[in-house]
Structure 1
Amino acid sequence: MPAVKGFSIVYNALNEDGTFSEGDTLSGKVTLALQKPSAVQSLFVKVKGDAQVRWTTRSGNHNHTHSSHRRYFKLKHFLIAENTNETVLPQGNHVYDFSFTLPSTSMPSSFKGSHGYIVYRLEAKLSRSWRVDQTVDKEIFFRSKSLPYLQTLMSPQIGVADKEVGIFSSGNVHMEVTVDRTAYAPGQTAMIVAKINNSSSSDMIPKVRLTQAIVYTASSSTKHESRNIHKIAGQSVHPHSNKEVSWAVKIPANQELSIKNCDIISVEYSLKVYLDISFAFDPAVNFPVIIISPTLMSCSQPSVSGPNSDFLPFAPSVPHYPASPHRYPAAQAYSAPPPSYPGNPSLMYPNQPVPTAWRYSNPGSHASSYGSPCLPSSSSNILHPPPNVHSFHAPSPPFHPRPSGQMTDSDPAIPQVVDTAPSAPAYELPPYLMNTNFLSQSDEPPPAYSVIFPSSANEESNEA
């Protein structure tokens, strides 16, 4: 009866597609089921990424093999350390957890072609004395997210073709083609519009073709492959007429991604829009197309401000001030308490709350790790409105109540709040400065401050 009943490895998916990219964490479990106690030399798990190309050419009676290999990384972790003394495991199921952090350097996406492949593989290996090593592995589907200038690939492409029609007809043709962007994810649709001006005497049929081109490289030799993914024809454009033709070309959901960061395998795509003219060279416009992973495509879309965004539009909140008999309706509240008058306690200002107006409202986040982009850095995001001119209350004469019926019109009434804000003192310029233009640019020094505003006698006496 064999000791090992089961040996398997599984990994935890990070998304619904089960794909990984640069810098991701790859974790999982290795399960070893034993029917009886067994001595183990070592148990380890490793993950690696490799690219390989290979093809054969025949020259005369000789065959020549072209091959090349690239290793992008290899990570290894021992679950049972390898040592001179074997580790005896009891009967039962033994589960071991593992975790790797994939390199953050640029690596190509997984690919399998007729003359090469790019494969990422997870493998577990069990070694025992006098036994053949047992190995289990799983392929990891890798989707590269290393693509510089991604935002520029979201802009439309425009191409123009002008051509004189051939020998069997006369005139010329002008075609202007627009493609909505350069980068697409599998399953998305490319929108193409062609404006055609047929000034010739020939009929022509507008067509569009999506092509995949694969190049395998080994030393100084290359192997090329090309195939058409889509080919669509439009309606005929008659002589001396204008026509606008549009196509919707869908990228297959299982289409291989573009590969530009591998030196032995490259996968490229192109859209060709051309006019099929009998007995003439076809005018054409070629556009590059890059197919990227859906995750990378979602990152390239413009984000919308949400509850957790630090860049919300300005939304000032209106402050609420409680009604007060000692404040005019048009007056603003102060962030500091107003002065009190001990001689007349009834005229003291009530305590007012600090206003919280003119703040940036962010209902989903109370504290931002980046701070507000518009407010100055401080311990508070509150901007108070500027205070208005202070309202002063003139002290009232002492009030002496009399017995009922003895009040007269000359008696002082109930103290009233009087706004006696003092006006600024008036200053008169000396006659010799009345016609002086202080804004003129001249070499004469400006007059001294004491000449323009002479101090009063009271100030001089105080200073003395």
Structure 2
Amino acid sequence: MSPIKDLDIIYQVLNEDGTFSAGDTIIGTVTFTLTKGTKLKSLFVKAKGDARVHWSEGTGDNKQSYSAHKRYFKVKEYLLEENGEGNNLQEGEHHFKFSLRIPHEDMPPSFKGANGSIIYALEAKVSRSWRWPSTARKELNLVSKSFPYIDQALCPQSGSVNKDVGVFSKGEVQMSASVNRKACSPGDTLSVFAQINNSSSKQIKPKFSLEQKTVYRAGGSTHNGLETLFKMVCDPIEPDTEETASCSVTVPDTAIYSLHNCDILSVEYQIKVYLDISFAVDPEVVFPLVIVPPSFPGFCEDVETYPTDAMGAPSGNDFPAAGFPIGVYPVPSGSDACAYPTPQPTQQTNITNGYNDQGPQNPTQYGFTDAVIMPPSVQYPSPAVPPQYEQGQGSPS
């Protein structure tokens, strides 16, 4: 029976939410109890970060498995140097302090999904000669410092679409849609508007949804997962009718943060405004959305108004866009699924991309068109280097 009992890792929490970021220093203590005097070969603690994906396709002889692994960092510190003759420790409790620094590099946040994960962890190992080592492990919650267009978080987006209703009817429908944010945090509420002109002979039904798309990559293949986090269906719009529908979209508190800076997996979000038309392809306008931690540097909620000319209809289209009123955005209330605000004057919209982006646009490799707009680099202060300790006195070198 091993004389090593209650091996544990205790570390200091730097942030109120218990998270770490690249460049942070992890300060803690490895503790254990010896039931008798023991010779230990070595004692070390390490921090590491790994991303893994795995999935299978097909059945029987045609079944094929895909997997990929990426290591982001590993730092290691010996608290008792390796000694073939053994380090003599007395019976009782023992405490060894350590200090490990997470590299100041661009790393994705912690993540666990159906077919992959990104895990950051602390591990401690106590070794004895000719014995199985004793180990302890604790996971760390790491958040990324890199998010697309976070500097434009409070900028609105808009877009328009015109479409014939198909061969089984006549006429066309026009829709201008807008959303008041490009980025938000879990628990936030977004305002989404859609002005619809139903010039067809069919009844149409406006719908709003918030979707999460997860993409796993390995060996040149991809595996996609799509989950609808929110959906609202409005009252039907009759033929030859023009109405403006709106709804408030609340991001679930359990929503994970957007993940774009990992080679083998990504997590993206989109708000979709579309029209349900029977026996026809549903016209839609899609807005990319970035979900970030509430305490993300530079991400603020103190802007209450937006310029009234921020949204617009496409060039050559006299159909007015669903603009936002001056002041705080209204949020529909009560049992009604939709509300109908008065549209405001707007500017021209980029109909090619489907929404009016107020900043530069770059294509993304992760699935949603124009979903990633990288912000200017932001410099973050490096944490203070913790004090050093004497080796052999329960502290790191």
TM (norm. structure 1) is 0.62
Give the 3-state SS of the residue equivalent to 1:300 in structure 2.
coil
Write out per-residue CA displacement over residues 69-106 of structure 1, whole angstroms, 9 at most, x where no aligned residue: 10000000111111233111111111111122211111
Equivalent residues of 1:111, 1:118 under 8 A apart = yes
Amino acid at match of 1:300: F
Q: CA deviation at 1:62?
A: 4.6
1:47 paired with 2:47, answer yes
Cα distance in 1 for partners of 2:302, 2:79 equals 43
Instruction: Give 1:259's aligned residue.
Output: 259
Q: How far apart are residue 279 of structure 1 and its match?
A: 2.1
Deviations 1:228-256 (A, max 9, x none): 11111112212222211111111111212
Distance 1:3 1:281 in 2: 70
The 5 Å alignment of 1:6-25 reads 6-25=6-25
Higher relative contact order (CA 8 A, sep 6+): 2
Larger strand fraction of residues: 2
Aligned to 2:56: 56
Structure 1 residue 211, shift from structure 2 partner: 1.3
What is the match of residue 204 of structure 2? 204
Say whether 1:97 aligns with 2:101.
no
Deviation at 1:172, TM superposition (A): 2.0
1:156 maps to a residue whose letter is P
Partner amino acid, structure 1, of 2:135: T
Q: What residue in structure 2 maps to residue 392 of structure 1? A: none
1:302 and 1:19 mapped to 2: Cα distance? 21
Deviations 1:320-373 (A, max 9, x none): xxxxxxxxxxxxxxxxxxxxxxxxxxxxxxxxxxxxxxxxxxxxxxxxxxxxxx
Q: Which residue of 1 aligns with 2:150?
A: 150
Q: Structure 1 CA distance, aligned partners of 2:175 and 2:62?
A: 50
Amino acid at match of 1:87: N
Query: Do 1:47 and 1:122's aligned partners in 2 also have CA atoms closer than 8 Å?
Result: yes
Aligned-partner Cα distance in 2 for 1:249–1:13: 33
- Distance of 1:120 and 1:60 partners within structure 2: 35
Q: Match for 2:300: what amino acid?
A: Q
C-alpha separation between the residues in 2 aligned to 1:189 and 1:148? Answer: 20
Q: Which runs of 5+ in 1 are unaligned?
A: 305-464
Q: Secondary structure at the match of 1:61?
A: helix
Aligned to 1:111: 111
Residue range with higher mean Cα deviation, 83-92 or 117-126: 83-92
How far, CA to CA, are the matches of 1:94 and 1:253 in structure 2? 41
Task: Please identify the structure whose Cα radius of gyration is greater.
Answer: 1
Residues 109-141 of structure 1: CA distance to partner in whole angstroms, max 9, x if unpaired? Answer: 111122211111111000012321010001111
CA distance in structure 2 between the partners assigned to 1:216 and 1:303 by the alignment: 36
CA distance in 2, matches of 1:282, 1:8: 56
Determine the C-alpha separation between the residues in 2 that align with 1:2 and 1:145.
43
2:318 aligned with 1:299: no
> Do 2:216 and 2:222's aligned partners in 1 also have CA atoms closer than 8 Å?
yes
CA contact (8 A) 1:109 1:259 kept: yes
Are the aligned partners of 1:145 and 1:293 in contact in 2 as well (CA < 8 Å)?
A: no
Deviation by residue 1:209-240 (Cα, 9 ceiling, x = unmatched) = 11111111112121111121111111221222
Q: 1:118 to 1:149 in 2, by over 3 A?
A: same
Cα 1:104–1:303 change in 2 (3 A) is farther
Q: Equivalent residue of 2:298, what SS? A: helix
Question: In the alignment, what sits opposite 1:223?
Answer: 223
- 1:198–1:237 contact (8 Å) kept in structure 2: yes
Equivalent-residue separation in structure 1 for 2:111 and 2:293 (angstroms): 13
Deviation of 1:48 after TM superposition, in Å, equals 0.2
Distance 1:149 1:167, change over 3 A: closer
CA distance in 2, matches of 1:57, 1:160: 38
The residue type paired with residue 228 of structure 1 is T
- Which of structure 1's runs of 4+ aligned residues deviate more than 6 A? none
**Whole-angstrom CA distance in 2 between matches of 1:189 and 1:76:** 43
CA RMSD of aligned residues (A): 1.9
Q: Does the CA-based 8 Å contact 1:162-1:173 persist in structure 2?
A: yes
1:163 is matched with which residue? 163
Report the counterpart of residue 407 of structure 1 in structure 2. Answer: none
Distance in 2 between the 1:76 and 1:185 partners? Answer: 34
Larger fraction in helix: 1
Which residue in 2 is equivalent to 1:284?
A: 284
Change in CA separation of 1:101 and 1:192 when aligned onto 2, cut-off 3 Å: same
Q: Is the 8 A contact 1:212 1:268 kept in 2?
A: yes
Tell me, yes or no, if the aligned pair for 1:19 and 1:141 is still in contact at 8 Å.
Answer: yes
CA distance in 2, matches of 1:58, 1:200: 44
Separation in 2, partners of 1:75, 1:143: 18
Match of 2:249 in 1: 249
| Cα deviation, residue 286, structure 1 | 0.8
Q: Which moved more, 1:228-237 or 1:55-64?
A: 55-64
How far apart are 1:148 and its partner, in Å?
5.2
Identity of aligned residues (%): 46
Q: State the number of aligned residues.
A: 303
Q: Partners in 2 of 1:303 and 1:154 — Cα distance?
A: 10
TM alignment of 1:319-330, pairs within 5 A: none
Separation in 2, partners of 1:48, 1:152 = 33
**SS at structure 1 position matched to 2:146:** coil
State TM-score, norm by structure 2.
0.72
Give the Cα separation in 2 of the matches to 1:87 and 1:163: 78
Q: Distance in 2 between matches of 1:60 and 1:132?
A: 39
